[in-house]
Amino acid sequence: MNYQSTNGSSPAVSLQQAVLNGLAPDGGLYMPSEIPHVSPEFIGAMDSLSFQDIAYIFGAPYFLDSVPGFEYRRIVDESFNFDVPLVQLDRDSWVLELFHGPTLAFKDFAARFMARLMAHYAQEFDQRITVLVATSGDTGSAVAHGFLGVDKIDVVILYPSGRVSVMQEKQLTTMGQNITALEVQGSFDDCQAMVKTAFLDPELAQRMKLASANSINIARLLPQMFYYIFLCSRLRPQWMPITVSVPSGNLGNLTAGLMAKRMGAPIQHFIAANNNNDTLAQYLRTGVFHPKPSVSTVSNAMDVGNPSNFARMQALYNNDVEAMRHDVIGYSFTDGQTTRAIATTYKQYGYIMDPHGAVGYLALQEYQQMHSSCTGVIVETAHPAKFADVVEPAIGQTVPMPDRLGAYAARAKQSIVIGNTFEDLKTFLTSKH
Ligand SMILES: *Cc1c(COP(=O)(O)O)cnc(C)c1O
């Protein structure tokens, strides 16, 4: 399988090049050059296969010509070594819980897979790879945790000092081993600019192999298809139309769902659930894509005003908004509606939603009012304990903290404080190599 740029003016490349490049030279994002199709009956017949088996089978066309079969099997088995429960709320509504990985958010799926794939390439070339990540909070911990203890990879996380939550900082700074946390005396934008400049610096390029682990990397997109196919195998949707509500920010999760549908996953509709950062919902309503500065909300992992994976959605639908509307409908909700939904779902079902899942719940409700007797699935992207400051006041009681989150709180922070310029980063990187 080759990978081509959404901008169409750089040559198609192998998976390995797409993963190590991150962004295509023409500034576009990589997409597989074709999306193979399988029959829905085939997916329906997979109800007794494990998540890993399904990931192995459906990932095969994308990965097997670049990675030996036994290696690919190991990558899949190690990456997805946690539960993916499907919880029923009422007759027509289900929750697909994607937060049972080590950092309690769905980003674990993609981050763990990408880490092992990159490690495979590092091994193949017998070269160390330094992964740079700028983070405003959650992405950094999922990515760093994915790479923790992975051979031949060093991870350098840049985060803005004093601007992440206490729990997020603990998750970023207490891992040790091959993970280094740089506490930047500046903003998230400074961190991002430092990383961007590093990738363009010829001297660094000569001294070390740098790679990016941010969400535009194709290795983070593809593994997110697997849980949509897994969902269909469990709900056997060939007997009924199902609709999936996806809490959306940078649109990687939604794009992967649409690719799974293109592969044959029998999902009738997707719902793009936005908070007040409603660029996509607006686009679906008006046909005009109008990026805007992000505003902060209680579902902060979706505070994205200019979603980067929109280019991939456009590529999937040949820039045809009508075609996209056939598959996706968008809704957006305020913080007030979100916290009330957390209270309601707790009262009604005894189920504790996190703020992102709550936006997904609201969107599904709105959809079901228009489409009666539709089976809906909410993709729950984070554990509610990660957002206890929002969830606890809404439900009027404490959220039990899973042991692995609590364990971080007990460990000592280890960070290296640096200034907010590229030169500061370069000095650090070159002193290590
Ligand atoms: C990243 C994230 C999202 C948004 O996912 P995208 O793929 O960027 O649309 C939603 N919820 C949580 C908890 C996240 O961490």
152 catalytic? Reply is: no
- CA dist 425 and 158 (Å) reads 9
Contact by Cβ (8 Å): 271, 403: no
Q: Say what the pLDDT of residue 41 is.
A: 82
- CA dist 172 and 135 (Å) reads 9
The string of pLDDT tens digits covering residues 98-115 is 999 998 999 999 999 999
Pick the more confident residue, 171 or 362: 362
Beta strands 3-5 and 93-97 are: unpaired
In a domain, 68, yes or no: no
Number of domains within the chain: 1
CA of 207 to the centre of ligand 1 (A): 34
CA of 247 to the centre of ligand 1 (A): 7
In a domain, 59, yes or no: no
Q: Say what the pLDDT of residue 373 is.
A: 81
CA of 431 to the centre of ligand 1 (A): 35
What is the atom index within ligand 1 of the atom nearest the CA of 382?
13
In a domain, 6, yes or no: no
Q: What's the CATH number where 383 sits?
A: 3.40.50.1100
Q: What residue ranges line ligand 1, CB within 6 angstroms?
A: 105, 107, 138, 247-254, 301-302, 356, 381-382
In a domain, 180, yes or no: yes
- CA dist 240 and 39 (Å) reads 16
Task: Provide the token pair at 178.
Answer: 């091959």
Task: Provide the token pair at 388.
Answer: 């206890």
The string of pLDDT tens digits covering residues 163-175 is 887 778 888 999 9
> Which DSSP string corresponds to 273-287?
EE-S--HHHHHHHHS
Q: At residue 45, does pLDDT exceed 90?
A: no
CA of 361 to the centre of ligand 1 (A): 15
Contact by Cβ (8 Å): 89, 117: no
What is the mean pLDDT of the segment spanning 335-363?
A: 98
Q: At residue 131, does pLDDT exceed 70?
A: yes
What is the mean pLDDT of the segment spanning 53-61?
A: 96
What is the mean pLDDT of the segment spanning 186-195?
A: 86
Q: Say what the pLDDT of residue 239 is.
A: 65
**Mean pLDDT value across the chain:** 93
Contact by Cβ (8 Å): 158, 425: yes
- CA dist 377 and 210 (Å) reads 39
Beta bridge partners, 274, equal: 332
> Which DSSP string corresponds to 91-136?
TTEEEEE---STTSBTHHHHHHHHHHHHHHHHHHHT--EEEEEE-S
In a domain, 387, yes or no: yes
Residues 6+ apart with CB under 8 A from 5: 12, 24, 25, 26, 28, 29, 30, 31
CA of 358 to the centre of ligand 1 (A): 13
Contact by Cβ (8 Å): 124, 149: no
Closest by Cα among 318, 200, 313, 336 to 257: 313
Residues 6+ apart with CB under 8 A from 160: 136, 184, 186, 187, 188, 190, 191
Contact by Cβ (8 Å): 339, 389: no
Q: Say what the pLDDT of residue 224 is.
A: 97
In a domain, 288, yes or no: yes
Closest by Cα among 426, 430, 423, 415 to 160: 415
What is the mean pLDDT of the segment spanning 400-423?
A: 89
Q: Say what the pLDDT of residue 356 is.
A: 96
In a domain, 360, yes or no: yes
Task: Provide the token pair at 216.
Answer: 């535009």
Please tell me the number of Cα atoms within 13 Å of 22 on its side-chain side. Answer: 16
Supply the range of the domain harboring residue 287: 83-433
Q: At what angle do helices 138-147 and 107-125 cross, to 10 degrees?
A: 40
The string of pLDDT tens digits covering residues 238-248 is 567 899 999 99
- CA dist 156 and 175 (Å) reads 12
What is the mean pLDDT of the segment spanning 398-411?
A: 85
